[in-house]
Amino acid sequence: MMQTQLNLTTMVKHAEKYFADKTVISRTLSGVHTIPYSKITERIHRLAGALKSLGVGKGDRVGTIAWNHHRHLEAYFAIPTMGAVLHTINIRVSPDDLAYIINHAEDKVLLVDEDLFPLIERVKDQITDVEKIIVMTDKEELPETSLTNIASYESLLEEADPDTELDDAIDENTIAGLCYTSGTTGRPKGVAYSHRGIYLHSLALGLKDTVGLSEEDIAMPIVPMFHVNAWGMPFAALWFGTTQVLPGPMPTPQILAELVEDYKVTMAAGVPTIWMGFLQALEQGNYDTSSLRCILCGGSAAPKGMIRTFESTYHIPFVHAYGMTETSPIVTLARLKSYQQELDEEERLELRSRQGMVVPGIEIRGINEHGDIPHDGNTIGELLVRGPWIADAYYKNDRSEESFRDGWLHTGDVVNIDEEGSVKIVDRTKDMIKSGGEWISSVDIENALMAHEAVFEASVIAVPDPKWQERPVACVVLKEKKTLTEEEVKEFLTPQFAKYWIPDRVLFMEEIPKTSVGKFLKRALRDQVEEMLSLSDSSS
Amino acid sequence: MMQTQLNLTTMVKHAEKYFADKTVISRTLSGVHTIPYSKITERIHRLAGALKSLGVGKGDRVGTIAWNHHRHLEAYFAIPTMGAVLHTINIRVSPDDLAYIINHAEDKVLLVDEDLFPLIERVKDQITDVEKIIVMTDKEELPETSLTNIASYESLLEEADPDTELDDAIDENTIAGLCYTSGTTGRPKGVAYSHRGIYLHSLALGLKDTVGLSEEDIAMPIVPMFHVNAWGMPFAALWFGTTQVLPGPMPTPQILAELVEDYKVTMAAGVPTIWMGFLQALEQGNYDTSSLRCILCGGSAAPKGMIRTFESTYHIPFVHAYGMTETSPIVTLARLKSYQQELDEEERLELRSRQGMVVPGIEIRGINEHGDIPHDGNTIGELLVRGPWIADAYYKNDRSEESFRDGWLHTGDVVNIDEEGSVKIVDRTKDMIKSGGEWISSVDIENALMAHEAVFEASVIAVPDPKWQERPVACVVLKEKKTLTEEEVKEFLTPQFAKYWIPDRVLFMEEIPKTSVGKFLKRALRDQVEEMLSLSDSSS
C-alpha cells in the first residue's frame, strides 16, 4: 500500500476541494458571522504564510489563547500543516501556570483574543521565548497595551500569500498539537498530539457507532478549543464538511440555546456543568431545540437524572462518553448494542449513564491488585488505556512514568466493566473512600444527590476517621429558593445505599470549587471542609 | 502518541471481547448455520494454531479457494494475525491462470471448499509450492481424490489449541492479504493489502458518510470473498460487531432474496449483474425486503434505470460506489451533500447514478493531455488515485510501472468530475471510441440501452472504420420473450445523443461475454463482433 501520511494537510485539502460551500458559523465580539469553508481554507493558507514570514519553522510552537471561533479554527489547521505545533492554552489557569505553560512549551508566537489580552499582559514579564503576539480581533485597531511585539491577525492575513503551500508530506508522527492538562496536583503537564493521532481520532468520531459526525450535521463544540482540542471535533468537522457553530467568547447558556435554535444545531458537545446550565436556560426560556439529534457529554460523569430530563422532557438524545486530555480524548461511548434496545426504559437509561463501550481502535483493561478485573459489572480496578491516539508520555516531563507504564496509560480512574464490556467510572483512584476496609464510591453518592430535585450540585469527599479510617462527607449546593436539611438528605440516600455509604455529615455550600475545565476540585474542597468541620467542632 | 500498530489482531480482539454474542449466519452445502462470534473467534485462534503446526510461518502465503462462509471468514483473520498472508483465489479464472496464481504467490497451504475441490485437482500437476491442501467441508469424510497431501479443516481445528496467541505486535505495514486481479489482458496481477490498509479501509466503511457499517447492521456481502476481500466488508463487520450473512456456495438470486427475508438483512453489497438478477427474483417472487436500508453497488456502473426500479418499486435505497482491486476497494461513493437533498428527484437520481464523492482519506485527480481536468462535469480525463489503502505496485511484477507512476495509481478509467467533486466514470481508457476526432463514451450508450424495457443487457464497442477511424457498434441481449429491431434501437437512442454517437450497427446476442467477476469482457466481445460482421459482410 502507498506510504501516504496520515496528516492534517490531507484533511484540509479534502475540505478545500469538496466542501467549499459549507459554512462555519462563528460568534465573535462583533456578532455572529457565517463564513464558507472556501474562505476558511484560503485564510488557512494565508495564516501559514504569515507565520512563515514571522520566522515560524517546522517544530516551532505557536500558542493560542482564544475562545471557539473561526480564527481559532484557522490556527488549528494552519499551524500543524506548516509543520509547526498548535499549542492551545487554557485561559482559566492561574497567571503563574499560564507563564509556566508558555515557557515550558517555549512558544515562539502567540495568537491571543482581544478580550483575553489582559491575561497575557499580566504575565508579560515572566514569559521568555515569545517573539510575537498576534491579536485576534474584528476591529481595525489593536488594543492599547504596553507590549511592543504585537501584530494584527487580520492585517497579517491580508498581506499574506493565499497560495502558500501546505506541506502534504509531513510525517504522520510529527507533533501537530500540544495541550496542558489542568491537573489537580502539581504543575500542568503537556500532552502532544501527532498528526496520525488526530487523523485516526477524527475517523473514530465519524463512525456511525460512535458520534457519527457527518456532513449533514451542524455541530457545536461548546467544550473549549483550548481543552483537548474541543474533543477533536473541529478537526473532524472540517474534514467531513460538517457545518460548525463556534460559540465564541463567554457563551452563556442563553447564548447557546439561541445558537441551537437559530442555526438548527444537530449535535453539541460539552461537560456536565454546561448541560446543567443549558437545562436551566431551557426551563426559563422557550427555545426550539428540536434540531438536536445528539448531545455529547463527557469530562466527568453526567448524573442519570440529567440524562432523563434531557430525553423525556426535551426529547434530546443524550450520549455519554469518556476520555481525558491524554486520550485525544475519545475512549468509550455509551451506545446500546442492538439487542440491548429491547431492555426496558430504566435498564437502558442505567446502561446509557455508564461511560460505555470502548471505541474501535482503542484497548482498555481494568486492573486491581489481583490482575485484570472480571467483566462482572461489580469488581473495581484502575482503568488502563492503549491505542494510536493515546499519549505515551507527558511532553518533556520526568513525571511521565507514573502514568505511562508497560505500554498502557494508567488513567487514575476507578471503574467496573460489565458483561457487555461497558465501563463505569466509579471514582478517581485518589477520591475513593475506604471505610472499615470497604470501598465507597464518591461518584455514586454524588450522582444520587444530584438526582434530588432541590440539589443543584453535590460533591462527596473522604474525611479521616479514627475508627473507620475514612468516612464520606457530602457537600451540597441547593437550587435557588430551595431548602433541605441534613437529615432530609440522609433520609433521601438511605434507601439507595448500604448503611455505611451514607455520609456522616452533609454540608451546605454556596458553590463547589472547580478546576479550570469545570470538574470538582476535590483537593480544594477537602481543605474547605476541613476548615468548616473544625469550626463546627470548636463551636459545638 | 503510542506506537500501537494498526493491525488485524486489534480488530479480532475487539470482537472477541465485546461482540461474543453477535452472530455470523453462514450458508454452507449442509444448510444455514447461525454461529456466535465467540465461536468464530475461538476457531480463529484454533486455525492459527493448526496452520502453525503445519509449518506456516510469518510471511508465508496461504491460499483460499472458497465461497463466502464462516470458515472463509475465520481464514480472513487467522492467517494475517499469525503474520502470514491470506491469498484469496478467484474461483472463476481458467485452470491455467489458477495454476499461475498459486505458483506466482508461492502458496504453501491451500484452504479449499469441498465443492471447489475439482478446480484444484485439475491443476494438481502444475502447482509447485503447495505442501498441504485443507478441505473445508461440513462432512466427516474428505472427498475422494488422488491427492495425498490433504487434511480436514474441522479435524485440524479440533486438535488445535484454542488458546493459540494472535500476534498483536505485527507491524502495520506487513502484508495481510493478496488478491489477483482478473485483468482483461495478460496474466493476473497480484495486489498486496497491508494490515494498515485494511484497518484504515475498515474505518472508512464505518463512517456515517460512507457505508456507515454498524453493529446494528445485518450485512450480506454477496460480492465474493475471493474478489477484493468482499470489498473489505468481512473485516470491518467483525471489528464492529455487525451481524454477517454469508451466502455460501452458488447463491442464486432466489437464495439471496430468501436470506434477506429470513435474516432481515439491512445492507448487501454486490456488482450490477447481481442486482439485475436480484430484481428479476423480486419480480417473480414475493419477498419481504423491507429490512434493507442500503444496497451497495460497485464493480461497474449501475444503469440509472436499475437504481430507479430498486428505489421507486421496492423502496430499497441504492448506493453507488467505485473502486477496484488495487484500491481495497473504496474510492468514491455516491451520497448527496446535505444541500443537494433539495434538488428534484430526477436531479438527485442523476447525481446518485454517478460514482460519487471521494471518501475521506483518499485523494483523486482527473488528468488529460493538458494536466488536471477542471471540475466542470464535462471535461474528461483519466482518474488517478492516491491514499493509504491504495496499492503502490503489483506483487512481484515488473509491469507495475504502467499503473503506478509519480505516486499515483493510474486507474485506466476515464471520468469527468462535477463542480461538487462527484466523479462519473465515462469509460475505460481502452474502451473509449474515437470517431472523427471526437470521443464517444461506450458506457453512456450502454446505460441508455439498458434503460430500455426490452433490453436485458447491452455493451458497446468500437470497430475500425476507414473514414471515421472508429465507429460504435451496440451488442444487445433482449429480455425473455421481448423483440426489438435494429432500427427501433437506433430510434430509441436518437433523441438522447448527438448523431455521430448513434451506433452504426446493433447486433442481437444470446449473452455478452464477461470476466470472472461479471464485467463485460470487451476484448472477447470485439473478437465475436468482428466475426459476426465479417460473416454478415460476406453473406451480403
What CATH number should be reported for the domain holding residue A44?
Answer: 3.40.50.12780
Q: Which of A142-156, B65-79, B526-540 has the least mean pLDDT?
A: B526-540
Cβ distance B407 to A358 less than 8 Å, yes or no, reads: no
User: Where does a domain end: A232, A247, A262?
Assistant: A247
Q: Is the dihedral of CA B222, B223, B227, B231 positive or negative?
A: negative
User: Where does a domain end: B156, B179, B194?
Assistant: B194
pLDDT in tens, B378-401: 999 999 999 999 999 999 998 888
Cβ distance B388 to A6 less than 8 Å, yes or no, reads: yes
The predicted pLDDT at position A439 comes to 82
Query: Active site includes B181?
Result: yes
Question: By the 8 A CB rule, do B432 and B426 touch?
Answer: yes
At B524, is the pLDDT very low, low, confident or very high (cuts 50, 70, 90)? confident
CA B519/CA A121 separation, integer angstroms: 69
Cβ distance A11 to B360 less than 8 Å, yes or no, reads: yes
Distance from CA of B407 to the nearest CA of A (A): 8
Per-chain mean pLDDT for chain B: 94
B529 or B438, higher pLDDT: B529
CA B477/CA B492 separation, integer angstroms: 16
Cβ distance B212 to A215 less than 8 Å, yes or no, reads: no
The predicted pLDDT at position A538 comes to 61
CB atoms within 10 A of CB A94: 12
The predicted pLDDT at position B227 comes to 94
The predicted pLDDT at position B538 comes to 61
Please name the member of B2, B173, B209 whose beta carbon is closest to the beta carbon of A387: B2
CB atoms within 10 A of CB B40: 25
The predicted pLDDT at position B399 comes to 80
Query: CA nearest B196 in A: which residue?
Result: A1
pLDDT at B185 over 70: no
pLDDT at A248 over 60: yes
B398 or B366, higher pLDDT: B366
User: Has residue A252 been placed in a domain?
Assistant: no
Q: Which residues of A are catalytic?
A: 181, 326, 434, 439
Query: Active site includes B326?
Result: yes
The predicted pLDDT at position A447 comes to 87
CA A159/CA A142 separation, integer angstroms: 17
The set of cell numbers assigned to B527 is 473478437
Whether B208 contacts chain A with CB within 8 A:
yes
pLDDT at B222 over 70: yes
- Residue pairs spanning A and B at CB distance below 8 A: 144
pLDDT at B476 over 70: yes
At B183, is the pLDDT very low, low, confident or very high (cuts 50, 70, 90)? low
Cβ distance A388 to B421 less than 8 Å, yes or no, reads: no
CA A430/CA A452 separation, integer angstroms: 26
Whether A358 contacts chain B with CB within 8 A:
yes
Distance from CA of B189 to the nearest CA of A (A): 15
Cβ distance A203 to B392 less than 8 Å, yes or no, reads: no
Q: Exactly one of B74, B114, B172, B326 is catalytic; name it.
A: B326
The set of cell numbers assigned to B163 is 488458546
Q: What is the mean pLDDT of residues A275-293?
A: 95
pLDDT at B540 over 80: no
Residues 6+ apart with CB under 8 A from A51: A62, A78, A79, A82, A84, A109
Q: Which of A483-492, B15-24, B135-144, B206-215 has the least mean pLDDT?
A: B135-144
At B215, is the pLDDT very low, low, confident or very high (cuts 50, 70, 90)? very high
Q: CA A438: distance to chain centroid?
A: 32
pLDDT in tens, B297-336: 998 888 888 999 999 999 999 999 999 999 999 999 999 9
At A183, is the pLDDT very low, low, confident or very high (cuts 50, 70, 90)? low
Q: Is A429 exposed, middle or buried (0-12, 13-18, 19+ CB in 10 A)?
A: middle
Q: Which of A50-64, A174-188, A334-348 has the least mean pLDDT?
A: A174-188
The predicted pLDDT at position B268 comes to 98
The predicted pLDDT at position B537 comes to 65
Question: By the 8 A CB rule, do B4 and B37 touch?
Answer: no
Estimate the crossing angle of helix B37-53 against helix B8-18, to 10 degrees. 140
Please name the member of B2, B196, B420 whose beta carbon is closest to the beta carbon of A1: B196
Does the interface predicted TM-score (ipTM) exceed 0.85? yes
- In chain A, what's the furthest Cα-to-Cα distance? 76
Query: CA nearest A8 in B: which residue?
Result: B361
User: Has residue B535 been placed in a domain?
Assistant: yes
At A540, is the pLDDT very low, low, confident or very high (cuts 50, 70, 90)? very low
pLDDT at B367 over 70: yes
User: Has residue B328 been placed in a domain?
Assistant: no
The predicted pLDDT at position B536 comes to 72
Please name the member of A2, A208, A421 whose beta carbon is closest to the beta carbon of B388: A2
User: Where does a domain end: B194, B221, B236?
Assistant: B194
User: Has residue B92 been placed in a domain?
Assistant: yes
Q: Which of A209-218, B191-200, B428-437 has the least mean pLDDT?
A: B428-437
Q: What is the mean pLDDT of residues A444-465?
A: 90
Domain limits at B67?
A: 1-23+36-194
3-state secondary structure of B412: strand
pLDDT in tens, B480-493: 899 999 999 999 99
pLDDT in tens, A503-522: 999 999 999 988 776 778 88
pLDDT in tens, A197-230: 999 999 999 999 999 999 999 999 999 999 999 9
User: Has residue A260 been placed in a domain?
Assistant: no
Q: What is the mean pLDDT of residues B266-283?
A: 94
Chain A contacts in chain B segment 250-279 (CB below 8 A): none
The predicted pLDDT at position B465 comes to 87
User: Has residue A279 been placed in a domain?
Assistant: no
User: Has residue B260 been placed in a domain?
Assistant: no
The predicted pLDDT at position A427 comes to 83
- The domain that holds A470 is classified in CATH as 3.30.300.30
The predicted pLDDT at position A505 comes to 93
pLDDT at A141 over 80: yes
What is the count of structural domains for chain B?
2
pLDDT at A108 over 90: yes
Distance from CA of B183 to the nearest CA of A (A): 19
Q: Is A54 exposed, middle or buried (0-12, 13-18, 19+ CB in 10 A)?
A: middle
Question: By the 8 A CB rule, do B133 and B110 touch?
Answer: yes
The predicted pLDDT at position B242 comes to 98
Whether A11 contacts chain B with CB within 8 A:
yes
Partnered with residue B193 across adjacent β-strands are: B177
Q: What is the mean pLDDT of residues B40-68?
A: 98
Q: What is the helix (H) or strand (E) element at residue A413, kind and residue range?
A: strand A408-417
User: Has residue B378 been placed in a domain?
Assistant: no
Cβ distance B386 to A4 less than 8 Å, yes or no, reads: yes
At B144, is the pLDDT very low, low, confident or very high (cuts 50, 70, 90)? confident
Which chain B residues have a beta carbon less than 8 Å from that of A212? 208, 212
Residues 6+ apart with CB under 8 A from B312: none
Q: Tell me the CA distances in angstroms from B522 to B96, B309, B439, B463, B513, one per residue in order.
A: 21, 27, 18, 12, 8
Cβ distance B18 to A420 less than 8 Å, yes or no, reads: yes
